[in-house]
Structure 1
């Protein structure tokens, strides 16, 4: 009896596991009967199916994304452009999705083909500068609308298409960089030439100011020197007028001081006028009178 109950309990558990299934909040399911989809279940919770005859396939209910590899496009101004885009989408009709593409991998491949086609068509109608400017937003909205209409055929709701990166091909990049470098070098040479011109102007102005200042300084020095010499001559003249003999004696002493050095040996004639104050020692001569005049009270 107990053995029969145990077997019955096992059969009930197996039958229940084949009949009842759980749909998670992040999932949606379709029920297949002999491989053919017969209904879909989008609400989370418990659901039932026929045991052994029907089976369940789950699909994501959340928003999915597809990051396609970069592709090269041609704009209306014949510029080549490498675009890397990302697509956000979700499964809107599980039954249609299963019938047309079956898996997420195949759905991503079909979506990439659709978006590639629409991007190529849209970029062929705009210039290169529009893709890298604020016009990109309008381009993406147009691509999203046209791609979403085609994605409905596969039970997919296309939410958004965005360009992650838009660059020139590597070969074109190098030529663009070379051209940019040449332009920057040309601008730097222009700025350097203008700087050198300004430096030459400033240097010439400084040299002119220096010449003017030196000339004015020299003129002022000459004027002061002339005034000093005139004043000295005037003083000498006044001294000469007061006592010509003493003045001559004093000037001769200054000449002795400048000419004669200690230890010098001089050979001079007796009638030399230069040393007459040193040689003439007779009383009453000019040397005696000068000596007397040099004595103070």
Structure 2
């Protein structure tokens, strides 16, 4: 009898423990939980700790409370000016309404498949309203904020909040990159040719101005030289005239001496004159008496 009671108590304890095991579940600090009964939500649990459910007929789905990443493969975006751009971007979101999230998405593992098309659509809508030049040069932070706003509006029914959007890179397709590179190279070469032409033109202007200034300087120097020579000749002539007027005989003698010097300048010069000639007029006795 006692043995049967002990066995019954043991079996009861095992059954109770098993029922408790099936009924208890723990919600972590980073989790939310939805209690389902035959697939229908019965309770949403947001507080961490030990919680209970009806065994067998109820089950629990756990929802992550942390900020989650949504990566999108690189997408080719057509800009407003029909130019193509390859954009690699990602978003960060968190689940703020776990019940709505479960009802719209179902299994949390399906979230990426449900959210990714909305993210790509938001990228295309926002970036497609700008030209390629605007996408490359404008404030990228503003573009990412606009994408975040559009993605939030597109995913309201999923019970999530988009907290951030980032563009890793935005590149031209390979064929466009080559075409733009060639165009940029052509433009740089044209600009370089224009700069060289402007430099040559400026150099020619500088040389022409320098030549004009040199011509003016040389002409002024020659004019000043001629004026100086003229003044010197005039002074010399005045001196000669004054000397001649003071002593005409001596002046005539001096001019004769200069003529002798010029006439006998060469090493092999021979002069044949008669003593009575004009050349020796000032070396005779009469000339000496005239001077005395």
- TM-score using structure 1 length: 0.68
Supply the distance in 1 between the matched residues of 2:226 and 2:183 (Cα, whole angstroms).
Answer: 63
Q: In the alignment, which residue of structure 2 is the partner of 1:284?
A: 285
Aligned pair partner of 1:259 in 253, 265, 287 = 265
Deviations 1:18-39 (A, max 9, x none): 7665534333234567998653
Moved more, 12-21 or 180-189: 12-21
Deviations 1:99-120 (A, max 9, x none): 635245x322332222113433
In 2, distance between residues paired with 1:121 and 1:184?
34
Measured in 1, the distance between the counterparts of 2:260 and 2:289 equals 15
Using the alignment, how far apart are the partners of 1:229 and 1:39 within structure 2? 128
**Are the aligned partners of 2:72 and 2:120 in contact in 1 as well (CA < 8 Å)?**
no
SS in 1 for 2:81: coil
Separation in structure 2 between the aligned mates of residue 191 and residue 29 of structure 1, nearest angstrom:
71
Residues 253 and 282 in structure 2, CA contact (< 8 A), matched pair in contact too: no
Query: For structure 1, which runs of at least 5 residues remain unmatched after alignment?
Result: none
Corresponding position of 1:268: 270
C-alpha separation in 2, matches of 1:254 and 1:13: 153
Tell me what 2:251 maps to.
244
| Residue 25, structure 1, aligned to residue 29, structure 2 | yes
CA distance in 1 between partners of 2:82 and 2:274 (Å):
111
Distance 1:61 1:103 in 2: 12
Is it true that 1:59 corresponds to 2:63 in the alignment? Answer: yes
CA deviations on 1:235-270 (whole Å, 9 max, x unpaired) are 2333344213541365357648x936xxx5x46355
Residues 1:49 and 2:56 are matched in the alignment = no
Q: Kindly tell me: are residues 272 and 208 of structure 1, through their superposed partners in 2, closer, same or farther at Cα, counting changes over 3 Å?
A: farther
Contact 1:70 1:84 in 2 (8 A): yes
Aligned position for 1:207: 211
* Deviations 1:172-195, CA, capped at 9 Å, x for gaps: 122122212322332332333233
Instruction: After superposition, give the CA deviation of every residue in 1:141-186 in whole Å (9 maximum; x if it has no partner).
Output: 663244224xx24x43444545454332121122122212322332
**Structure 2: gaps of 5 or more residues:** 1-5
Q: Which residue of 2 aligns with 1:112?
A: 116
Aligned to 1:185: 189
